[in-house]
């Protein structure tokens, strides 16, 4: 008698994708046996087919998406890559009531790992961990933190925005690992994958939920579209927040410039390679190589793009040279002509005068450069993202905004006041 293999049900794409396809049957993911293991807190339900909307279904579809992203990135990362949260990456699928998801290293009152939430919007349940787009985006934060830990505390708009872009790129490339989704994208875009598709439209359900609460805060048909036509601007000249239709220096908003260029690069690589799965892997490899090699500098987008060209030289003998350059030049990330690498850089502590923020003592900030640190801090404080309680004179600080989650905190280290990151917060601000 044939042994029946256990299967589970999992979403290929966001639960609110326009395609409204049924969940697919898959073998259950074994998170503890991944090269970089993951553990979902609580007792795992027995593997099997459960109704959409049940806790058991949500467990297995989240496990499926998380495993897909780890299986994609782990072989591309340097051999000794380790999670920043310990041997296993902890995941909480229902960490409370919020329209949110975040990655934290732990400490400063936040649990380490990935946290997903549940929120009811217009009578509809929204579980952020049920969306493969959001799960693989958050996993992207953890993976990038494992590959390039110095980005964590780097006070720089471009470094923080790159973290968000990597999350969205993780969602796109992880989605392209699914044969049915590759077929759908090639069909829907007539093989021009720089066009909007089920894969480029990220977090449709979260986008819908955000629009119910703040109509301008998400794109019309998703949270963010990896296919867009935003052109690079110096983030210094951008407002700290804006409606989704415009660019701001807020990291999720600004990240779209890099993500859009990357998808164009990927579209070009697909034409060169003729195989979408292989092109996705090569693009991921080029990006990881660039991240490992590139020092953190204020214009980090340009730096990474330049190192992508170098990575292609080393690994693929310039096979993708023109399409890499094409994607980044068209967005103004690379200049016309041959780009120069910026040597040096790197993140170190900078001293910022506290007076501008009403504080009576200086603040130490890790950053690639003084000006980058100041403008990053200005943005954070304007958006109400810093827990300033430890700072002397904080009663004079102008911006409090108690309803906003604090991604950063001022802490006392050896008597000095230092700015530290608590988390990458990815939900509704
Ligand atoms: Zn994020």
Spatial contact of 49 and 25, defined as CB atoms under 8 Å apart: yes
pLDDT for position 79: 96
Q: Which helix (H) or strand (E) holds 113?
A: strand 113-116
pLDDT, mean of residues 158-178: 98
Binned at pLDDT 50, 70 and 90, residue 173 comes out as very high
pLDDT, mean of residues 78-82: 97
Cβ neighbors of 298 (< 8 A, separation 6 or more) are: 156, 158, 368, 369, 371, 372
- Tell me whether residue 361 is exposed, middle or buried, using C-beta atoms within 10 angstroms of its C-beta: 0 to 12, 13 to 18, 19 or more: middle
Which 8-state DSSP code applies to residue 115?
E
Q: Which two tokens stand for residue 277?
A: 């799965």
Ligand 1 mean position, distance from CA 280 (Å): 21
- Convert 294-351 into a string of H (helix), E (strand) and C (coil): CCCCCCHHHHHHHHHHHHHHHHHCCCCHHHHHHHHHHCCCCCCCCCCCCCCCCCEEEE
pLDDT for position 185: 96
**SS3 of residue 174 by DSSP:** helix
Which tens digit of pLDDT belongs to each residue from 26-41?
999 999 999 999 999 9
How large a percentage of the chain has pLDDT more than 90?
Answer: 85
Ligand 1 mean position, distance from CA 144 (Å): 11
Ligand 1 mean position, distance from CA 376 (Å): 17
| Mean pLDDT of the residues in the chain | 93
Residue of 381 and 232 predicted with greater confidence = 232
DSSP bridge pairs for 77: none
The residue whose two tokens read 């939900």 is 427
Ligand 1 mean position, distance from CA 1 (Å): 48
pLDDT at position 397 over 70: no
pLDDT, mean of residues 51-67: 97
Ligand 1 mean position, distance from CA 339 (Å): 29
Ligand 1 mean position, distance from CA 84 (Å): 16
pLDDT at position 217 over 60: yes
pLDDT for position 339: 64
Ligand 1 mean position, distance from CA 6 (Å): 33
**SS3 of residue 188 by DSSP:** helix
pLDDT at position 341 over 90: no
pTM: 0.95
Which tens digit of pLDDT belongs to each residue from 407-425?
999 999 999 999 999 999 9
pLDDT, mean of residues 62-73: 98
Report d(CA 219, CA 252) in Å as an integer.
Answer: 12
Which 8-state DSSP code applies to residue 427?
S
How large a percentage of the chain has pLDDT more than 70?
Answer: 96
pLDDT for position 400: 64
Would you give the distance in Å from CA 147 to the centre of its chain? 14
Ligand 1 mean position, distance from CA 48 (Å): 31
Compute the chain's Rg from CA coordinates: 21
Cβ neighbors of 172 (< 8 A, separation 6 or more) are: 199, 200, 202, 226, 259, 263, 266
Ligand 1 mean position, distance from CA 258 (Å): 14
Which tens digit of pLDDT belongs to each residue from 83-114?
999 999 999 999 999 999 999 999 998 999 99
Ligand 1 mean position, distance from CA 163 (Å): 7
> Which of 18-27, 50-59, 167-176, 240-249 is least confident?
18-27
Ligand 1 mean position, distance from CA 408 (Å): 14
pLDDT at position 342 over 70: no
Binned at pLDDT 50, 70 and 90, residue 4 comes out as low
Report d(CA 106, CA 72) in Å as an integer.
Answer: 25
pLDDT for position 30: 96
Ligand 1 mean position, distance from CA 338 (Å): 32
pLDDT at position 348 over 60: yes
Q: What count of other Cβ atoms lies within 10 Å of the Cβ of residue 377?
A: 22
Which tens digit of pLDDT belongs to each residue from 115-126?
999 999 999 999
Q: What CATH number was assigned to the domain covering residues 157-330?
A: 1.10.390
> Which of 15-19, 251-255, 365-369 is least confident?
15-19
pLDDT for position 404: 82
Q: How far is CA 179 from CA 265, 275, 277, 381, in A?
A: 21, 12, 9, 44
Ligand 1 mean position, distance from CA 214 (Å): 19
- Strands, sheet with 348-352, edge to edge from the N-terminal-most edge strand: 348-352, 363-367, 416-421, 408-413, 386-387
Ligand 1 mean position, distance from CA 2 (Å): 45
Cβ neighbors of 243 (< 8 A, separation 6 or more) are: 216, 217
Task: Provide long-range contacts, Cβ within 8 A and 24+ apart, for 123-129.
Answer: 124/209, 125/53, 126/99, 126/205, 126/206, 126/209, 127/58, 127/93, 127/94, 128/99, 128/100, 128/101, 128/206, 128/427, 129/58, 129/62, 129/91, 129/93, 129/94, 129/101
Ligand 1 mean position, distance from CA 101 (Å): 8
Ligand 1 mean position, distance from CA 319 (Å): 31
pLDDT, mean of residues 277-304: 97
Spatial contact of 226 and 259, defined as CB atoms under 8 Å apart: yes
pLDDT at position 338 over 80: no
| Structural domain spans, the chain | 8-151, 157-330, 348-425
pLDDT for position 357: 86
First-residue to last-residue Cα distance in the chain: 55
Ligand 1 mean position, distance from CA 79 (Å): 25
């Amino acid at each position: 008698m044939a042994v029946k293999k256990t299967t589970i049900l999992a979403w290929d794409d966001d639960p609110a994708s326009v395609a409204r396809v049924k969940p697919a049957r898959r073998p259950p993911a074994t998170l503890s046996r991944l090269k970089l293991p993951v553990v979902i807190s609580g007792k795992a339900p027995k593997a099997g087919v459960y109704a959409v909307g049940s806790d058991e279904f949500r467990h297995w579809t989240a496990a499926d998406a998380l495993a897909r992203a780890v299986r994609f990135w782990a072989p591309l990362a340097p051999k000794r890559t380790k999670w920043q949260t310990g041997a296993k990456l902890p995941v909480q699928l229902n960490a409370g009531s919020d329209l949110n998801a975040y990655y934290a290293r732990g400490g400063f009152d936040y649990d380490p790992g990935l946290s997903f939430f549940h929120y009811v919007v217009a009578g509809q349940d929204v579980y952020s961990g049920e969306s493969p787009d959001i799960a693989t985006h958050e996993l992207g934060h953890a993976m990038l933190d494992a590959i390039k830990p110095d980005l964590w505390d780097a006070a720089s708009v471009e470094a923080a925005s790159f973290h968000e872009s990597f999350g969205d790129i993780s969602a796109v490339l992880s989605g392209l690992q699914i044969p049915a989704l590759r077929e759908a994208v090639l069909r829907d875009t007539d093989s021009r994958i720089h066009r909007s598709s089920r894969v480029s439209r990220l977090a449709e359900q979260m986008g819908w939920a955000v629009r119910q609460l703040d109509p301008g805060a998400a794109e019309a048909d998703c949270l963010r579209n990896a296919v867009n036509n935003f052109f690079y601007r110096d983030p210094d000249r951008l407002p700290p927040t804006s409606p989704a239709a415009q660019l701001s220096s807020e990291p999720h908003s600004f990240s779209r410039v890099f993500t859009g260029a990357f998808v164009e690069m990927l579209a070009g690589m697909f034409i060169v390679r003729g195989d979408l799965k292989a092109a996705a892997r090569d693009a991921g490899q080029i990006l990881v190589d660039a991240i490992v090699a590139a020092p953190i500098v204020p214009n980090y987008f340009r730096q990474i793009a330049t190192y992508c060209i170098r990575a292609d030289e080393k690994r693929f003998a310039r096979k993708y040279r023109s399409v890499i350059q094409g994607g980044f030049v068209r967005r103004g990330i690379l200049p016309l002509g041959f780009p120069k690498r910026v040597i040096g850089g790197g993140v170190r502590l900078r001293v910022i005068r506290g007076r501008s923020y009403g504080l009576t003592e200086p603040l130490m900030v890790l950053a690639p450069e003084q000006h980058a640190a100041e403008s990053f801090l200005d943005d954070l404080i304007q958006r109400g993202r810093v827990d300033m309680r430890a700072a002397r004179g904080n009663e004079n600080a102008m911006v409090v905004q108690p309803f906003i989650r604090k991604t950063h905190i001022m802490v006392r280290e050896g008597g000095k006041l230092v700015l530290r990151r608590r988390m990458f917060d990815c939900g509704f601000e």
